[in-house]
Amino acid sequence: MIDQADNVYDLNAVLHPGTAFDHPLDVVADKTLSLAEKRAILASWASDAAAVTSNPALRELAGTRRIVTIDEILEALSMLDHKPSGPPGGKPMRQKSTSRVALAA
């Protein structure tokens, strides 16, 4: 995507990801792309401009060999997000079960 020696961007891959990538996970796995570039490519792929007319849940880009679902694209985008190390909400504050407390009374 970027020639590091020349600092030249391949805008064709950004503007027309179907010519460079067959699947959204290919974008996520590409080591030459920055996080911002991956997001831009996946966002353009998810846009309504790529929607299949007869089925808006599908996306097809010019130059691609396959049609992907919007869910596949959104899943690839979510893989780029930072995940918290612990469980959602942190450690629970309640140490005893409320049902045991109710039975003891």
pTM: 0.62
Asked if residue 105 belongs to a domain, the reply is no
Place of tokens 């974008």: 27
Asked if residue 88 belongs to a domain, the reply is no
Domain that holds residue 76: 2-83
Residues 46, 33, 18, 66, Cα dihedral to 10° = -80
Domain count for the chain: 1
pLDDT digits (tens, 9 = 90+) for 45-102: 887 677 777 777 777 766 667 788 888 888 999 999 877 666 666 666 666 665 655 5
Q: What percent of the chain has pLDDT over 90?
A: 12
